[in-house]
């Protein structure tokens, strides 16, 4: 906080607290124009009279207590501008402590799982329950709670892999992340050639297309696309070049979406999890993902 806002918060907070105290004192005083304590105020509803009685004591003390409490709180905990409080509490400190506690508690369990191979773990019910919990905490926001993905986020429960479905390949994907870079071709090829190659791509999965256009598209494919998608269009797992011959489409499989992918390109990013989760948890997650398509 800048010095200005530091003092802004301090002054506002303290003025508010002392104003509460003053308000209580002020309302307790009997003013000359009012009825004496215990006397009718002159207000009456349906024959019921209001007396000028003081607040019940316990209630009054409750107000005093909240004032003292708030002052004590502001001394111990952060709240007054940049003053950290004498208790040394911070939300980050509490978070770090909770992480340390949970690592101490569950770390040995993950370490024990980590000693086993991924295919072995995939058959271990207890390990898979723990893996499922990790997955729902860290992966579902992108890959879905059933791991079946969505447009732009790959399905992890099928046999179709951008980067390979072997245990080590899955573990690499999670540890170090992946960047799928599909360049946009419109500037280089122009509208017509993009249309042709889009037709050729669709013919690879057996769709009926304009044959002359697809043939022209094949020429383009053989020069521009084979490096990443292979001569047969089956992809290249080293680069994450998608398999174009199946009916699984990461970025949507309608004719329009496919053409758009080729024209504009796509960039997909799978974040690295090695630093964030640690090797043991990633190992367990890899086993969980592996188990989804290797029942
Ligand atoms: C911010 C979104 C996001 C999160 C969170 C995320 N992923 Fe991913 N993941 C992706 C994207 C996008 C790709 C595709 C990357 C590409 O196409 O290059 C991907 C790819 C993968 C792959 C490779 C799939 C293949 O076909 O080869 C695996 C395995 C994977 N993720 C597992 C996980 C696991 C396990 C977690 C949880 C720890 C996770 N992901 C969390 C977005 C995410
Ligand atoms: C530099 C490597 C590279 C080249 C060259 C390349 N691509 Fe790609 N392409 C990729 C990658 C990587 C992906 C996956 C993108 C992702 O992970 O989001 C992809 C995805 C695609 C997809 C979407 C697949 C899906 O499942 O949704 C289509 C269609 C496609 N490419 C067509 C082409 C065509 C046609 C050409 C040639 C004009 C071409 N690509 C050239 C790397 C390349």
Using a pLDDT cut of 70, give the percent of the chain over it. Answer: 100
Q: Report the alpha-carbon distance of residue 136 to residue 119 in Å, rounded.
A: 21
Q: Atom 40 of ligand 2 has which residue's CA nearest to it?
A: 225
Q: What are phi and psi of 155, to 5 degrees?
A: -70, 125
Among the ranges given (26-40, 62-76, 111-125, 148-162), the one the predictor scored with the smallest mean pLDDT: 26-40
Q: What is the dihedral of CA 280, 286, 288, 291, to 10 degrees?
A: -140
Closest CA to 17 of 87, 76, 79: 79
Q: Is 283 in the pocket of ligand 1 (CB under 6 A)?
A: no
The dihedral through the CA atoms of 140, 145, 147, 152 has a sign that is: negative
Longest dimension (CA), the chain: 103
pLDDT tens digits along 157-209: 999 999 999 999 999 999 999 999 999 999 999 999 999 999 999 999 999 99
CA separation for the pair 219, 217 (Å, rounded): 5
Q: pLDDT tier at 33 (50, 70, 90 boundaries)?
A: confident
pTM above 0.95, yes or no: no
Q: Is 286 in the pocket of ligand 1 (CB under 6 A)?
A: no
Tell me how far the alpha carbon of residue 259 lies from the centroid of ligand 1, in angstroms. 24
Taking only the tens place, the pLDDT of each residue in 41-56 is 888 899 899 888 888 8
Q: Residues 277-294: pLDDT tens digits?
A: 999 999 999 999 999 999
Distances (CA, A) of 165 to 90, 105, 150, 169, 197: 43, 32, 18, 6, 28
């Amino acid at each position: 906080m800048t010095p200005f806002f530091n003092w802004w918060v301090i002054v506002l907070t303290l003025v508010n607290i002392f104003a509460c105290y003053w308000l209580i004192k002020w309302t307790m005083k009997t003013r000359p124009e009012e009825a004496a304590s215990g006397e009718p105020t002159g207000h009456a509803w349906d024959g019921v009279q209001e007396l000028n009685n003081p607040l019940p004591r316990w209630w009054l003390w409750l107000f005093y207590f909240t004032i003292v409490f708030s002052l004590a709180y502001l001394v111990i905990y952060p709240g007054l501008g940049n003053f950290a409080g004498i208790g040394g509490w911070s939300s980050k400190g509490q978070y770090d402590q909770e992480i340390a506690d949970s690592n101490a508690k569950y770390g040995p369990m993950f370490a024990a799982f980590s000693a086993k191979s991924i295919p072995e773990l995939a058959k271990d019910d207890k390990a898979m329950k723990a893996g499922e919990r990790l997955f729902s905490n860290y992966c579902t926001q992108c890959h879905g709670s059933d791991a079946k993905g969505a447009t732009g986020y790959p399905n992890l429960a099928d046999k179709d892999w951008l980067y390979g479905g072997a245990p080590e390949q899955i573990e690499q994907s999670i540890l170090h992340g992946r960047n799928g870079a599909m360049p946009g071709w419109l500037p280089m090829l122009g509208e017509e050639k993009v249309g042709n190659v889009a037709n050729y791509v669709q013919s690879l999965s057996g769709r009926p297309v304009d044959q002359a256009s697809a043939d022209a598209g094949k020429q383009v494919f053989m020069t521009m696309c084979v490096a990443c998608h292979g001569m047969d269009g089956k992809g290249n797992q080293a680069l994450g070049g998608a398999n174009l011959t199946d009916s699984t489409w990461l970025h949507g499989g309608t004719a329009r979406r496919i053409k758009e992918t080729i024209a504009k390109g796509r960039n997909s990013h799978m974040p690295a999890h090695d630093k964030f989760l640690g090797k043991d948890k990633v190992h367990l997650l890899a086993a969980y993902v592996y188990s989804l398509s290797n029942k």
